[in-house]
Structure 1
Amino acid sequence: MARAAVMGAADGSPSRTDEPVAESAEVRGAPVRTTSRVVWREVATALASAALGGLAAVWALRLWAAHLNVPLVGSGDALLNLMLVRNMQLTGWFQSTPLLGAPIGQDLRPWPVAVGDIWGLLSLKVLSLVLSPAASVNVFFVLGFPLVAAVACLCFRGLSISRPISVVLGAAYAILPYHFQRSEPHLFLSVYYAAPIGCLVAMWIYTRQVDLWRSPRLYRWREYVVLASAVVLIGGGMYYAAFGLVLALAAALLRAIGERTVRPLATAAAFFVIVVAGIGLAALPNLLYLGSADADSAAVTGRSYAASEFFGLKIVNLVLPAWYHRIPALADLRAVTGESVIPGENTETLGVLGLVGFVAVLLAVLVPVAAHRPLWRRRLHPLGVLTVVALLFSTVAGLNSVAAALAFDQLRAWNRMSVNIAFLALAGLAVLIDRGLHRLGRRWPVARRPLARAGVAAVVLGIALFDQTGPAIRPDYPHTSNAWNADADYFQQLEDRYGAGAAVFQIPYSDFPEAPPVVSMAPYDHLRAYVHSDLAWSYGSVKGAFTSWQQVALSEGIPSTLPKLVGAGFQAIYVNRNGYADHGVAEEAAIVATIGPQVPFVNPDNTLAVYDLRPYASRLRAEGAQIPSLDQVLHPVRIEYGTGFFAPEADATKTWRWGGARADAVILNPTDDPVDVMLTGSIVVADPRADVTVTVGADEHELIVVNHVATLAIPVVAPPGTTPLAFVTDSAPTTAPGETRDLRQQIIDLHLSPLD
């Protein structure tokens, strides 16, 4: 008896029997021609799923109330995506703009934002040729629903799921809670079409349906699909590429062990090489920059073992309903998980359809069965195997944490593998539905009719719409539109006052990218100014050497800062009052005391204030005051933070960085002469008896800890170039609810002041 077909009949439709079927010519290795008629039928099937997924999204989001040129979300990370599109419109590509990071300009090469998302960026580029930044982002996001549905539908068909069920489950997959919760702030993550592709390739490898080891002359359509899939994964999202590679390599390893052959490993290796080489090519501008003399410290921080645990997948989040569920009791059930000290991103919900499939595929792996399993059980088994693999890699303290412990910690948010698990679970559900319809058809022939299958599909889609969507996911269109239009008017008036290209300095200082909120000022909030005007703004340079001059300029207070801003060519200073605990009162009082009485230009909600520096600059020049040169402002003696330091934090009275047991930095003197400076600040530790040592160059200074605080005042002669700076303590860590970092020392208000 020939080997049984594992996934169904050779033509892609479900087998009509639970008995082993004859091996087809395709399984034996002979090439099989795919007719154009078959291809067009599959295309039509995918388009039907795309239409259904798109209509479901329109209904769930009530998109008829939206405005094309107003983003669905106008704050937070959504501003970052609007920035990328505006960069494309101004300079041709997303990696630079002269209107951010003034007076230097923005250069995004230190930040690998493009790596893994090249297809999304190219799509935004095309849209930006004819649409505004807001419209480009809106269209991209909305089209993501039919795209995900179509690709998922084709992948279900690749697993021999019947057409009606593939269509409806493709649409259900496109409206996972994950999609709505990612939304426009996580624009590229929201278009997760690459996830089912990775699952399909892994399934084909595990079930021996693809073999790249054979001669290309004998390749079947599946081999060509795998090669095309590798190209798609190159630019379909770094996370989804990584998840697909993990599943493919695991499937190949398990099959190789089971059959004692390297052929599956060869297929997975070829797939791996294509994907990794393509991602490396996309990262070439970043890699070339990192190898250049201008390379600065990495712009991406917060990647660590602790972060991988914090952002790991939680099975409880998979199986419980979404936090916004229509049934209050179910929403309350999910709310209980908010008490976790590591809540993560909280976007993993499978929904009731996915939950049924999830249980089914796990039982197919865990429950002992007879040697001769029915076909539908054999179809569930590989889905369950890959689901177990996904859980082992993605769950909190799983294999992802092992990788992080080995320093592979750049991919920290493994909870995002939930979309791979959701696809495998829905595929398991599809097997059950097809099996049920087949058995019903044997007993009641009416169940075989297309109308009956359409009825089942309608019920499935109805369940998905009820369970996976809800009023809470709909954007507040009137509020967003009013805020967006008010900003547009305000910043246009600013541009009219100062002229296009005029430089405006923004406070409070905030790192870019990936910075925490500053008091009540949300991350990326300074970008509101850029997306609405042609003025040049100080915010937006990648943190590190590009922005250190701003921190130095602000470190000695407003009276010392303003002459430097004049020297750097700034014509105004912009205050985001939400970034201060006192709503900017003290900072603005210092500005007025320095530049003289002036009524600021304030936005309608009284959160933004702009002060004109031009009269002040004219007065300084008329008085013959010493104004620093641009070179002096941009290249001060400064501290650059390195290994062991965490991102900066601030409150109304101080700024600080947490450090580990050892935190390293350097004092950078960009001039050609030694400079005398005073290193000041304080170090707070949890253990009042701890030793605290600061080493400057070769000089070691043991500090005295009083009431948990060590005061720092060290004169330093900084030679040209860099001087190593190390902070070491044996203190126990400082702990707090939900805190996952190893916080050994809090280094507060660390400054270098020139000594006359």
Structure 2
Amino acid sequence: MGDSTPLVPHSTFLKGDGASDAPSALHGNSAEIRDTASDSRTPPEATTPSLEVKASAAAVPPAQTRWPVRLAWYVAVTVICFLLPLVGYRMDVNSFHAPLLYDEDALLILPMVKSTIETGTHWHTDRLGAPGVQEMYDFPVIDHLHFAIIWLIGRVTPDPVFVFNLYYLLGYPLAGLAAMAVLRHFGLSFFAAATGGVLYAVQPYHFYRGECHYFLSAYFFVPVTCMVILWVAGGRLPGFPLRADGRRRFCLWDRDTLAAVVIGILTAASGAYYAFFAAGLMLGAGLYGWAALKTWRAMASAVLMIGVIFVAGVANHAPQFMYQAKNGKHTAPTERYSEEAEHYGLKLTQLLMPIDDHRLRVLSEIKSSYNSYDRPVQAITERYGLGFLGACGLMILLVRLVLPMRRTSPYAELTAVTAFAILIGTVGGFGAIFNHVVTPQVRCYNRIAIYIAFFALFSILYALDAGIVRASAWVECWSSRRVAGIATMAAWLALTVCGVLDQTPVTWGDEIEAKLISDQQLRFRTDEMFFHQIEDALNPDGTTPGAMVFQLPYVRWPESPPVRNLASYEHARGYVHTNTLRWSYGCMKGRETDEWCRHVSILPPEQLLEHVVKAGFDGLMLDKRGYPPAKADQMEREIVKALGHATATPTVTHPHKDQLFFDLRPYRNWLRGAYGSGWEAACYNELHRVRVLWLNGFSSFKDSGYEWQHRWCRPKGLAVFVNPTNETKTFTAQFFIRTMTKNPAVLSIRGGDLWTEDLTIDPDTPMLTRTFTVPPGRHNVNFSFAVPESYTPHDGRWLVFYFSGLRLE
């Protein structure tokens, strides 16, 4: 993109709060943009604006701006950004003690918040996943920066729902403060930076993500990460500071480098997606800096920062790696397909178009007519419009990208990193290639929109800042400084107000929004009464923990599709509303406890109840929404009939009549008497069965509990035979192992003494009979399939062979 000219303030008074006396915060401590070690030519001098302007209220030198004034600006933005969501979510009539969203993924995150406050960690929750415990190591959520803040807030107020709401709402002022501070750092006036902070805080991305995508909504660290990306693109290179003699030397102990390293570490702790995008944009910034500054050190600095983010990311994943090293790598909980990068890819139309439900009817109709699911790669997650000002800023950058214009700073750097962001995130872009060739784990590339939003706002606000400063100087020439200051304030205030109205839907803050949230909170209160009744029935003194409740129907965790009318994560409500009870929902799919739950859940009610009681459960909750109406009524009748052996079966019924609780303790007492002296042995055997866990590389598309009938595998797979007893167990099984490839191929099975052989399989391989002798403990069996050349994959899953009928009885 040619040479880059250092960032020149709009006037000699426009420097950021933390800026040096250099002409550019992007370029560090010198106007030099080429490394003198590799290019001895004299660097271009920083140019000054042709229009000399006087200091105005919007352009006071940092040295002359007293700290109370600076503090007042930041406090004002904080208050505005906090009041806006309070008004938008109608917190005057809604409560902080009930979630704003009591549905969808909010019920995935709320239990994590509760566990973090109560136990100090979200990695495992003792009161979910009974009769085991919920362990999240196969489904890592590494947003440790957010969990740390949540834990700290929880030291002040222990109510997890209040903390859940409060931290979400705090995301608005935190985003506004971060954006304002970074814009000031790059030399924008207080007015421009404050407007940028407010508009960045109320990006449509923010409230459309909401409490459903809780940690994605907490994007307040993104502007700080963008600052380092722009440093690298502009020549302020962490790890290679510019010395007094004009040369760069590798150094890890200067201020910029240490700050950048800390920022890289916190970026990795603020979410996997934002860290991944930061690394990708840092790579782009390094490439641009290498070309523009004519020094390889720009690329080396970018690699250094990518390394910091990568190492910090690995450290955040350390609990997962340690757990899977001991218990086997498990891919099913985070199974992704490379095709999803196209479905959840970035689209320029969504960035530039108005938001849904825009306040201007004509714009709302334009967007509504565009939101057709007949349109290719149209997804509900595409609500990430930039607003009018952001769209204008993006257009400025796109025009400067394609037209032969002088590459002046900061537009040169902003254009470069924005172009890289679009190339990474757009449908069919580099992200889709990365997903297909490297790993499909990063699938929602449209989430890079919040990075683009910051660059776009920076672009338009930089232009407006220059224009308004010059207009203010012109007004001052014809009137007075006071009038110029009032005009400047009015212009920025109008831009801020219009921008907020443009970026928020017409329902924001009105009675419709209040009613939507009120309905969610009413349902929360209704459930609260129901589950408190269950807890009172099982634990009347409220102090003795441990009573377990089995939940029907079975819903796998995490990321289950809806089970009839029972949405994913609905079963988590029991844990949210109780303080002592343990719940069967939440065991990691594919692990031991989940295998037991899936097997039990498909049994007839009479057998199911016997297994559940022997496993130690004291209660059963039946959610009839998970069955067709006739089936739900049948399940209720059969459960009542099976419990008829007991002398009493007290029941708690939800006010909506669709959820029932059965106290199993009288039935357990009757069953214990029926078993006599064999009761303890029966209870032990119930939870100490040998199981096969199909982990790395395996997938099944059968209904829950019937996966053993047909299970696919990629070219490499891992199965773990688990014997939790102290005795060696022997099983004989008959099953098929086949492939759909035209030519036979060899499947290598390596499991030590338990199972080691080489099989030649084809579509007609006959039934196999094998005897497995399973000693106590965990035993890995690795599968490696020599894929024949005749095989052509048709999607990103690479499923090449399958098991049918293998289970241990």
Q: Under a length normalisation based on structure 2, what TM-score does the superposition of the two structures give?
A: 0.79
Counterpart in the other structure of 1:536: 582
Match of residue 619, structure 1, among 670, 685, 707: 670
CA shift for structure 1 position 182: 1.2
Aligned runs of 1:433-512 on 2, under 5 Å?
433-441=464-472, 443-445=474-476, 449-472=484-507, 474=513, 476-499=516-539, 500-512=545-557
CA shift for structure 1 position 464: 2.2
Match of residue 343, structure 2, among 304, 307, 310: 310
State the secondary structure of the residue aligned to 2:807.
strand
My pick for the range that moved more, 745-754 or 604-613, is: 745-754
Q: Cα gap change, 1:145/1:270 in structure 2, threshold over 3 Å: closer, same or farther?
A: same
Aligned mates of 2:763, 2:111 — CA distance in 1: 45
Counterpart in the other structure of 1:46: 74
Counterpart in the other structure of 2:260: 226
CA contact (8 A) 1:110 1:542 kept: yes
My pick for the range that moved more, 405-414 or 715-724, is: 715-724
CA contact (8 A) 1:79 1:524 kept: yes
Q: Cα gap change, 1:632/1:677 in structure 2, threshold over 3 Å: closer, same or farther?
A: farther
Match of residue 249, structure 1, among 283, 307, 316: 283
Q: Cα deviation per residue 1:313-361 (whole Å; 9 max; x = unaligned)?
A: 1222212222332324134134235643452621321121211111011
Q: How many residues align?
A: 725
CA contact (8 A) 2:9 2:23 kept: no
State the secondary structure of the residue aligned to 1:397.
coil
Aligned mates of 2:735, 2:634 — CA distance in 1: 23
Q: Cα gap change, 1:513/1:567 in structure 2, threshold over 3 Å: closer, same or farther?
A: same
Aligned runs of 1:44-123 on 2, under 5 Å?
44-113=72-141, 115=142, 117-123=143-149
User: Percent identical across equivalent pairs?
Assistant: 23
State the AA in 2 paired with 1:668: F
CA shift for structure 1 position 78: 1.2
Q: Cα gap change, 1:527/1:12 in structure 2, threshold over 3 Å: closer, same or farther?
A: farther
Aligned mates of 1:34, 1:216 — CA distance in 2: 24
Counterpart in the other structure of 2:30: 27
Match of residue 153, structure 2, among 127, 130, 134: 127
Counterpart in the other structure of 1:6: 7
State the secondary structure of the residue aligned to 2:101.
coil
CA shift for structure 1 position 248: 2.2
State the secondary structure of the residue aligned to 1:336.
coil
Aligned mates of 2:644, 2:761 — CA distance in 1: 43
Q: Cα deviation per residue 1:49-99 (whole Å; 9 max; x = unaligned)?
A: 222222222222222222011010112221222212221343233233321
Aligned runs of 1:639-678 on 2, under 5 Å?
639-646=692-699, 650=703, 659=712, 666=719, 668=721, 670=723, 672-676=727-731
Counterpart in the other structure of 1:560: 607
Counterpart in the other structure of 1:410: 441
CA shift for structure 1 position 271: 2.7
CA shift for structure 1 position 269: 3.4
CA shift for structure 1 position 220: 8.0
Q: Does 1:752 align with 2:807?
A: yes
Aligned mates of 2:564, 2:733 — CA distance in 1: 29
Counterpart in the other structure of 1:580: 627
Q: Cα gap change, 1:700/1:388 in structure 2, threshold over 3 Å: closer, same or farther?
A: same
CA contact (8 A) 2:225 2:278 kept: yes
Counterpart in the other structure of 1:607: 658
Aligned runs of 1:7-406 on 2, under 5 Å?
7-8=8-9, 13=14, 26-27=29-30, 42-113=70-141, 115=142, 117-129=143-155, 130-214=157-241, 225-291=259-325, 293-295=326-328, 297-298=330-331, 300-326=333-359, 327=361, 328-336=364-372, 339-343=375-379, 345-369=381-405, 378-406=409-437
Q: Cα gap change, 1:137/1:485 in structure 2, threshold over 3 Å: closer, same or farther?
A: same
Q: Cα gap change, 1:330/1:43 in structure 2, threshold over 3 Å: closer, same or farther?
A: farther
Match of residue 429, structure 1, among 435, 454, 460: 460
Tell me the C-alpha RMSD between the 2 structures: 4.1
CA contact (8 A) 2:691 2:808 kept: no
State the AA in 2 paired with 1:91: T
CA contact (8 A) 1:27 1:209 kept: no
Aligned mates of 1:484, 1:600 — CA distance in 2: 21
CA shift for structure 1 position 660: 6.6
CA shift for structure 1 position 726: 9.6
State the AA in 2 paired with 1:519: R
CA shift for structure 1 position 700: 6.9
Aligned mates of 2:329, 2:218 — CA distance in 1: 31
Q: Does 1:569 align with 2:616?
A: yes
State the AA in 2 paired with 1:641: W
Aligned mates of 1:57, 1:380 — CA distance in 2: 32
Q: Cα gap change, 1:418/1:190 in structure 2, threshold over 3 Å: closer, same or farther?
A: same
Q: Does 1:545 align with 2:581?
A: no
Aligned mates of 2:606, 2:103 — CA distance in 1: 32
CA shift for structure 1 position 483: 0.9
Aligned mates of 1:3, 1:595 — CA distance in 2: 79
CA shift for structure 1 position 443: 4.3
State the AA in 2 paired with 1:275: I
Identify unmatched segments of 5+ residues in structure 2: 17-21, 33-60, 245-250, 540-544, 750-754
Q: Cα deviation per residue 1:358-409 (whole Å; 9 max; x = unaligned)?
A: 101111121113x6x7xxx543232111110000111122111222233233
Identify unmatched segments of 5+ residues in structure 1: 16-20, 706-711
My pick for the range that moved more, 337-346 or 161-170, is: 337-346
Aligned mates of 1:160, 1:519 — CA distance in 2: 56
CA contact (8 A) 2:426 2:445 kept: yes
Q: Cα gap change, 1:7/1:111 in structure 2, threshold over 3 Å: closer, same or farther?
A: farther
CA contact (8 A) 1:574 1:609 kept: yes
Aligned mates of 2:308, 2:798 — CA distance in 1: 41
Aligned mates of 2:707, 2:633 — CA distance in 1: 16
Q: Cα deviation per residue 1:137-173 (whole Å; 9 max; x = unaligned)?
A: 1110111100000101111122222211110121011
State the secondary structure of the residue aligned to 2:371.
helix
State the secondary structure of the residue aligned to 2:410.
helix
Q: Cα gap change, 1:453/1:223 in structure 2, threshold over 3 Å: closer, same or farther?
A: farther
Q: Cα gap change, 1:722/1:651 in structure 2, threshold over 3 Å: closer, same or farther?
A: closer
State the secondary structure of the residue aligned to 1:522.
coil
Counterpart in the other structure of 2:19: none
State the AA in 2 paired with 1:186: H
Counterpart in the other structure of 1:717: 771
Counterpart in the other structure of 1:521: 566
Counterpart in the other structure of 2:43: none
Aligned mates of 2:717, 2:23 — CA distance in 1: 67
Q: Cα gap change, 1:743/1:149 in structure 2, threshold over 3 Å: closer, same or farther?
A: same
CA shift for structure 1 position 417: 0.5
State the AA in 1 paired with 2:616: G
CA shift for structure 1 position 174: 0.6
CA shift for structure 1 position 10: 9.2
Q: Cα deviation per residue 1:508-552 (whole Å; 9 max; x = unaligned)?
A: 222222322222211111110001112111112222324222223
Q: Cα deviation per residue 1:178-215 (whole Å; 9 max; x = unaligned)?
A: 10011112221101112222222122221224453138
